[in-house]
C-alpha cells in the first residue's frame, strides 16, 4: 500500500481593516497525492482548500475542492480580483471627484 503525501499546504489571512477586526480574508490550500501501487492502481492528486471573506456578520466561503482538474478555480479567482480592482478604481475616482466638488463649492468636511 502506498502512502498519501502532502505536496503543498499553505494558509494565511489578513484583517482588511485592522481597526475593525471583523473584516478579514482567510485562506488555505492543500495538495495531497498518492502514487499508484505496485499493481498500477489507486494513484491520485487532489487540491483542497477554501477562501473565506468576512465583514462582521457576513461571511462568504469559496470551496477550492476539485479545482486541480481544470482552470475553473483560477478563472473564478481571476474574475473576482479583476472586479475588485474595478471597484477600487471607481471608489478612488469617486473620492477624487468628491474632493474637487467640495473644494469648488466650499464645503467643509465637518458640515
Residue entry with cell 499553505: 10
**Do 78 and 60 belong together in one domain?**
no
Task: Determine the pLDDT at residue 65.
Answer: 63
**Do 11 and 44 belong together in one domain?**
yes
Reply yes or no on whether the pLDDT at 94 is more than 80: yes
**Do 58 and 86 belong together in one domain?**
no
Count of domains for the chain: 2
Rounded to two decimals, what is the model's pTM?
A: 0.70
Cα-only R_g, the chain: 22
Q: Whole domain around residue 1: which residue ranges?
A: 1-69
**Do 41 and 74 belong together in one domain?**
no
48 and 69 Cβ atoms separated by less than 8 Å: no
Tens-digit pLDDT profile for residues 19-75: 877 789 999 999 999 988 888 888 888 888 888 999 878 888 887 765 555 666 778
Selection from 3, 60, 49, 7 nearest residue 27 by Cα = 49
**Do 42 and 78 belong together in one domain?**
no
Cell output for 110: 465637518
**Do 21 and 59 belong together in one domain?**
yes
Amino acid at each position: 500500500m502506498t502512502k498519501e503525501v502532502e505536496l503543498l499546504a499553505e494558509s494565511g489571512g489578513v484583517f482588511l481593516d485592522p481597526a475593525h477586526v471583523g473584516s478579514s480574508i482567510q485562506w488555505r490550500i492543500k495538495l495531497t497525492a498518492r502514487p499508484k501501487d505496485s499493481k498500477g492502481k489507486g494513484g491520485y492528486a487532489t487540491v483542497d482548500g477554501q477562501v473565506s471573506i468576512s465583514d462582521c456578520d457576513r461571511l462568504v466561503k469559496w470551496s477550492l475542492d476539485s479545482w486541480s482538474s481544470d482552470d475553473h478555480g483560477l478563472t473564478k479567482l481571476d474574475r473576482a480580483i479583476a472586479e475588485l480592482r474595478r471597484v477600487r478604481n471607481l471608489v478612488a475616482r469617486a473620492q477624487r471627484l468628491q474632493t474637487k466638488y467640495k473644494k469648488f463649492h466650499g464645503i467643509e468636511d465637518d458640515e
